[in-house]
Amino acid sequence: MWWQALSGAVQVAIVVALAGTMMPRSVFAIYTWSVIIHTFIQIPGFYQVMRHALTGLQRFDYAQILDLGPGASLSHAHPAIFVTIMVVWGRSHPIFGPSMGGLFGMGLAAYAAEALTFVIGHLALPPSGLMARRFIFLAI
């Protein structure tokens, strides 16, 4: 788990450095901010661990709730909320504009969906999984 967090930070640094330096000079310059924003979903990089822990504990009912909850059913609600907020933010910051605010909102929505999956999964671990909860975050 800690490897995911640390290697994810290195991966994000490499991708952001490459996207920030090479993409603006290419035909894909319009996608630079999108790549950079969606790369940050890898920080801390272990948001799916609770779903995998529930599957490992053979609590497939909770794992399916995590698959269908934030992942599928809320996948349309998150962008609507975050994009609307960020479009309003973009209108009040003309240097970015509403379209860039909407792009930021899409990245924030993806990050919020992953974080919500982690939080719901953490709460869904059964009492017998308390030992697993400690083991998951143990720095060895």
Share of the chain above pLDDT 70, in %: 84
Alpha-carbon span 128 to 126, nearest angstrom: 5
Q: Which residue has the tokens 């609507």?
A: 80
The number of C-alpha atoms within 13 Å of 14 and in the hemisphere containing its C-beta is 7
What's this model's pTM, rounded to 2 decimal places?
A: 0.75
Tens digits of residue pLDDT in 9-42: 888 899 999 999 998 988 888 888 888 888 888 7
Q: Report which of 88, 4, 84 is spatially closest to residue 45, judged by C-alpha positions.
A: 4
Q: At what angle do helices 97-124 and 77-92 cross, to 10 degrees?
A: 140
